[in-house]
Chain A
Amino acid sequence: MKRRDVLGAFGATAVMTFAGSRARAEQLLPFYDLPAKYMNWAALGTAYEKRTGVKLTIDLKTGSSTALAAMKAEVARPQVNGAFWSLDIAIEGKKAGVTMPYKPKGFDAIPDSRKDRDGHWWAMSSANIVIGANTDVLRKHNLPLPKTWNDLLKPDYKGLCGMMEPTYSGTASTFAYGINFIQGGTKDDFTPGMKWLKAFADNGGQYRSETMGPRLVTGDVGILIDAEGNILLPKAEGAPVVVIAPPDGVVAVELGMSMMKGAPDQERARQFFDWLLGDEAQSIIGASYFRPVRKETLPKAVAAELGEPEKLIPLDLEHEAAVVTNLKRAFTEIVTRGGDLADVLRRYRLAA
């Protein structure tokens, strides 16, 4: 083989790879982050591909915060068209300058508190954050279902509980924020919430880096704190899991979309955003036991199964967004690294 041939072979391979990726790229519409097993993005992706031939990127990252980090790093050369994330992180995204405005069809029907006036983010659905339990695991340990959040701190449930890392996942960061109000804390004092999060870890509760719904189904964790739909959908499919909405209070995570600033494929991104608020997508979301922002699309049977919690504690999204980064920092220093609770909270101005 002559050198020319070798170089030629290299060149041909490069051209073919490039051409191949172009062809694929035309059908692919990249977003951060559409997890297959969260809000049933697997079903949403399949339905959208069937309707339009456009393939979505399922399972690129692990959470809202990781999506935001990637978008910050890529803002000069955007690699994705937008993000699906919890709205506290979306507000951070707007502040960080990684989003651009768009008002999809159906934007006007979204309540003002659940969208950005300029269209940098808008709600698509919400989900109550609840306790999921694997009944097989609990039966094996002869344990009753937990009833309250504080039950999870009892030695009976030691080592059985898990949830996602608040530093990665928007659902988990919303819970880390919300548990403070469930436990009697205030916007000026996050001591009660942080104490709970630390006690959870001290009782063997795990903060994990992967999507956790499937872990509850297999019994890797016996008890999971997660969005209700991630537990109710497997339940409907026959998994031995149940949902408990503790009467001492439940918070909801607001989920929505944003368009990435300088998105490479804005035309098709807009079509996708429009579709997500339309009847088809909204009813898939409902059928997956998440609460669609257009409430009328929620199937009656699902509405009955979802029910309404005894005490839903409303969260102040703007405030949550303003403190969530410090809260994640404080969480890491206190819970992961064993720092002094009062000192750290004071340093991040989360307690007096």
Chain B
Amino acid sequence: MTLTRGAAVMLLLFLVAAVLVPAAQVLRTSLTDAEGSFTIAYYAQVLADPYFRSSLIGTMVFCAATSVAATLLALPAGWRIGRGGRGAVYLRAFCQANYAFGGIAYGMLVVTLIGNVGLVPLAEHALFGTEWTKGVAYTVPGLVIAYFGFQIPRAALLLAQAIEKLDPRLLDAARTLGASPVQKTLLVVLPLLRGALTSTVLSTFLISLASFGVALLVSRKLTIYAVAIYKEFMAFSEFGSAAAMAVILSVSAVLAAVAARRFAGRTDMAGL
């Protein structure tokens, strides 16, 4: 008992030091003008700017759409990992390895694969003499592929956890009652996984909003909000508006999460 309580206290202290203190600092910066007095000017300025507004909306829409698509695309892999079967172990290891490619490293990987001289366009040119895939990394479809690259494996692992816990008797019962595989999937599996699907979409959405390295390297057509924040901070030393934008992004993320939860109408969503 004492050990658990000790660990909990440690975790709490760690959270305060590593999350709350920096977050409070960001909040303070966003509300303090150059003379050190209170201001909401940074928020007003950032929210009034049509470019930043469309970047925020574009980023939310992009992350939401790709998260939904990625979660659906992750279902077969999640099923295989969760139910076992040939290759499940390797599939799980592959999905887990994805965590090793954080931020910039992942962006580099995307450039190496589908950049102007990526491995894919080079192979395409050698095989077919065409150059369709050249520089795809820098287009919106390329950005989708790049995001799928880290969204699908992570979503698959999240789904696998829920699929592991599915009651096999329900599936057996469905089969015994004469349900076809399609019927079984649509009428039994998906309703059972509804909560897990929603929470996976949500987790993936939040991970995507926080993703930065990939977009910094490859996003050209769409200004990802995190990159816009980076530019305000690093290129223009506008700490106040960068901090305000960071707060706005965080609040939007929380609001979106709450809204999605309401929408799903469920309280049993793991992790949130």
Contact = CB atoms under 8 A, between A and B. Distances in A.
Interface of A: 1-3, 6-7, 10, 65-66, 68-70, 72-73, 96, 159, 165, 167-168, 206, 209-210, 218-221, 325, 328-329, 332-333, 336-337
Contact of A168 (B117, B220, B223, B235): B235
What are the nearest 5 A-B pairs in CB distance? A167-B235, A69-B237, A66-B234, A3-B6, A219-B117
B128 interface: no
Given A159-B135, A219-B117, A6 B7 contact: yes
A206 B111 CA distance: 14
Nearest to A71: B237
Contacts of A73: 233, 237, 239
Interface string B228-242: 000101111101000
Contacts of A6: 3, 6-7
Contacts of A209: 216-217
16 contacts: A1-B3, A2-B3, A3-B3, A10-B10, A65-B235, A68-B237, A69-B233, A72-B237, A96-B237, A165-B235, A167-B231, A167-B235, A209-B217, A210-B217, A219-B117, A220-B117
A72 B216 CA distance: 22
B116 A220 contact: yes
Interface in B13-68: 51
Contacts of A167: 231, 235-236
Nearest to B122: A219
Nearest to A165: B235
A337 B115 contact: no
A65 B7 CA distance: 43
B2 interface: yes
A245 to B, nearest CB: 25
A325 B220 contact: no
B138 interface: yes
Nearest to A66: B234
B3 A206 contact: no
A6 B4 CA distance: 11
Contacts of A10: 10
Contacts of A96: 237
Contacts of A3: 2-3, 6
B117 A328 contact: no
Contact of A220 (B10, B111, B237): B111
A144 to B, nearest CB: 20
A139 to B, nearest CB: 14
A206 B220 contact: yes
A280 to B, nearest CB: 33
Contacts of B235: 65-66, 69, 165, 167-168, 328, 332
A329 B6 contact: no
Nearest to B134: A159
Nearest to B216: A209
Given A96-B237, A220-B116, A328-B235, 6 more contacts: A6-B7, A69-B234, A73-B233, A73-B239, A219-B117, A332-B235
Nearest to B238: A69
Interface in B218-272: 220, 223, 231, 233-237, 239
Contacts of A65: 234-236
A145 B198 CA distance: 55
A218 B117 contact: yes
Nearest to B137: A220
Nearest to A68: B237
A328 B115 CA distance: 27
